Amino acid sequence: MPLNKDAVEALCHIQPDAAKRIGRVFREGFDEAIKAAVTRAKIADLRFHDLRHTNASTLLNAGRSLKEVQEILGHKDFRMTLRYAHLSKSHLVSAVTAIEGIASLPKRPAVDDMAHKMAQSDAHADPKTLTH
- Provide the residue ranges of all domains of the chain, joining segments of one domain with +: 5-87, 90-129
More confident residue, 114 or 61: 61
Distance of CA 48 to CAs 15, 53, 97, 131, Å? 21, 10, 36, 49
DSSP state of 126: P
- Segment 61-103, tens digit of pLDDT: 999 999 999 999 999 998 999 999 999 999 999 989 998 888 8
Q: What is the pTM of this model?
A: 0.62
